[in-house]
Structure 1
Amino acid sequence: MVPVGGISCCLSAAALYLLGRSSGRDADVLRSVTRVDQLKDLAQLLDAATKVLPTLIVAATGRVGSDTPINCEYSGLRGVIVEQTAEQHFLKHNDAGSWIQDSALMLSMCKEVPWYLDDTTARVHIVGARGATGLVLTVGSEVFEESGRSLVRGTLDYLQGLKMLGVKRIERLLPTGTPLTVVGEAVRDDIGAIRIQRPHKGPFYVSDKPIDQLIANLGKWSRWYKCASLGLTVFGVYLLTKHAFQYFMERRRHWEMRKRVLAAAAKRAGKEEEGVNGKVENTSDATKKDKMMPDLCVICLEQEYNAVFIPCGHMCCCMACSSHLTNCPLCRRRNDQVLRTFRH
């Protein structure tokens, strides 16, 4: 039997270790990025850096602003990124005869307008923020509209095993005026304006946390992943060692019982072909030994075995001896059932 538990633990430990290394690398990269105290200094830094570096990764802070903000339909707030979802909630009839609550997504849409960071000294446009790490949208409104279906429609839904409860509409947004920290590549566009975007290689963060807190969180998660990886590794090795030990002991018991049966058969038949004084002679030919193996019960060594243990499937005892056993003599698994077999 394959030790699935031990292998799964070791694979999970490897995955957590890789996550820990990735978080640690991101923390090191964030420590090395150029921090912009005032956005007005970014143009000078960009001009100086492009002469020696192909890309400039910066960390800038400011408040969200836009010349064309979106007016939210339900909350009345103004934002630059707005997500709207609508979920249909209902009760459905399951096979057990009871009603359980479930939901299905009806609508999911997102709008984004050009926006920038503003710290009163300058403005820097942000591009592709929806795909950045750390972006969390604020829940602007959450409304539940009860179902108002007609009697005919409600009856049809009931016959299909459904009871409509209503629609839940959630509106999430990035409001204007929100203080943000953006880490990304600073570039100039075609008209000379500065923007921050996702770099070809490197971190891209849009978060409401300061960069020092981002670095601390990444370091904490890196340590947590590595500790969890170490714990799973130890547990996985323990499971694999336990499985190997049990397999070794099972094989050892199997060979010891095999020797006992062969010795009892030799003594019973009065033959000396299997060994002297009840000891079995070792033979390198496994096929020959299987043919010489008598069908004796490993407990009484007198009756032929005719009982199969369930669920392990071993057949090594007679029905009389198996009735007194709760575990299989070969693998030590607990017996749920014993079946009698017939050879003819």
Structure 2
Amino acid sequence: MEELSLIYSVCSMFPEFSMVNILKVTPGACLQHVIIEGAVKPEGEREKESQGQEQETTSSHQKGIVIIHDYFHLRMIKDSEKAVPFLLEGLDNTEIRVLSPLPAAGLDKEVTYEKFHQVSHSLGDLVGQYFTGEKPKGQLEIEGILKVGTNITGVGELKLDTDGTLSLRPPSNGSQYFLTPVDFDVIISALAGAAINFWARLRYYRHLEAHREQERKEFNRLLAEAARQQNNVPGQDNLQGVAMCVICLNQPCICVLLDCGHVCCCHTCYQALPQQYCPICRQRIVRVLPLYQV
């Protein structure tokens, strides 16, 4: 970010230091992270009736998963996209060619054409689909355009080509490529919010894991204490009269779920519960204790 701010400040305070001049003295004539703001402009001649430049045609083939005659979900088996490069023109009339716009994040285009082409099936196809459980639904075709004059903020790699043309492309180091109608401050705010959200979720996850580890150690301590007490009783079988876990069906129920008091699962299945609710009555589990056999 310091590199981006420095380039922006130099170009603002000293107009003679244009992007071309900066790239000429940069090794490789390339900057991996730059901020470009400008208006969309067509590359070359365009028809007078056309109001958009960056055209995207998306063609996807959909296939449905079938159980007998009931569809329960769709999956895409092929997705092909193509786009037309365009230019970004700044306030100083500097033109930058935008390459590979489709991988960029934040680029919303106006849908101008959408049609679903449903396929027809012969009798042999229907018989094969009955046994395979998959039935092709058809082809969905969508076209979208980016209107000329739309203000776009691009964050990516800027390179000076051998013919003197400036081009903006996805960063070669794998960083995120942005093309969005919002300004750079909004992008930074969104990324900061995502980082804070990730940090909060990570802290919660670590806290939850620490709590589960502490609970597991306490349970094992109580279980070992109960086993020592039972071993003092001669001829007593520790598993006598203990029901099997209702989840895995192969381990004895050694957990008492509180506050409901149900004894219905082993400790391994209790830890694997996606939510802390009793499998029998669905009451929230406050704590768990080992089962004592006396």
- TM-score range (shorter-chain normalised) is 0.5 to 0.7
Please report the TM-score for the alignment, with normalisation by the length of structure 2.
0.64
Distance 1:334 1:117, change over 3 A: farther
Please report how far the alpha carbon of residue 192 of structure 1 lies from its aligned counterpart in structure 2 after TM superposition: 1.3
Distance 2:39 2:158 in 1: 17
**Equivalent AA in structure 2 for residue 179 of structure 1:** N
* Structure with the greater alpha carbon radius of gyration: 1
Q: Which residue of 2 aligns with 1:93?
A: 67
CA contact (8 A) 2:230 2:236 kept: no
Looking at secondary structure, tell me which structure has more helix per residue. Answer: 1
Distance 1:175 1:245, change over 3 A: same
* Partner-residue secondary structure (3-state), 1:130: coil
Q: Which residue of 2 aligns with 1:216?
A: 189
Q: Which residue of 1 aligns with 2:216?
A: 243
Superposed CA deviations along residues 227-251 of structure 1, whole A, max 9, x for unmatched, are 1111111111111111111011101
- 1:182 to 2:121 alignment: no
Matches within 5 A, 1:36-47: 44-47=18-21
**Equivalent AA in structure 2 for residue 103 of structure 1:** L
Distance 1:334 1:79 in 2: 75
Distance 1:145 1:245 in 2: 61
Q: Which one of 191, 195, 198 corresponds to residue 163 of structure 2?
A: 191
Distance 1:252 1:87, change over 3 A: same
* Partner-residue secondary structure (3-state), 1:234: helix
- 1:126 to 2:98 alignment: yes
**Equivalent AA in structure 1 for residue 141 of structure 2:** I
- 1:142 to 2:81 alignment: no
Please report how far the alpha carbon of residue 46 of structure 1 lies from its aligned counterpart in structure 2 after TM superposition: 3.7
CA contact (8 A) 1:144 1:166 kept: no
Question: What RMSD over aligned residues (CA atoms) do the two structures have, in Å?
Answer: 4.3
CA contact (8 A) 1:68 1:114 kept: no
Q: Which one of 58, 66, 84 corresponds to residue 113 of structure 1?
A: 84
- 1:66 to 2:5 alignment: no
Q: Which one of 207, 218, 227 corresponds to residue 180 of structure 2?
A: 207
CA contact (8 A) 2:40 2:86 kept: yes
Q: Which one of 230, 236, 239 corresponds to residue 297 of structure 1?
A: 236
Q: How many percent identity over aligned positions?
A: 12
Distance 2:40 2:79 in 1: 24
Distance 1:173 1:327 in 2: 56
Q: Which residue of 2 aligns with 1:8?
A: none
Q: Which residue of 1 aligns with 2:274?
A: none
Gaps of at least 5 residues in structure 1 are 1-27, 265-295, 300-304, 316-324, 336-344
Superposed CA deviations along residues 148-185 of structure 1, whole A, max 9, x for unmatched, are 445x4576467547796852513143524243111233
Gaps of at least 5 residues in structure 2 are 245-249, 255-261, 268-288
Please report how far the alpha carbon of residue 139 of structure 1 lies from its aligned counterpart in structure 2 after TM superposition: 3.6
Q: Which residue of 2 aligns with 1:253?
A: 226
Bigger mean CA deviation after superposition, 209-218 or 166-175: 166-175
* Partner-residue secondary structure (3-state), 1:128: coil
Q: Which one of 251, 270, 279 corresponds to residue 312 of structure 1?
A: 251
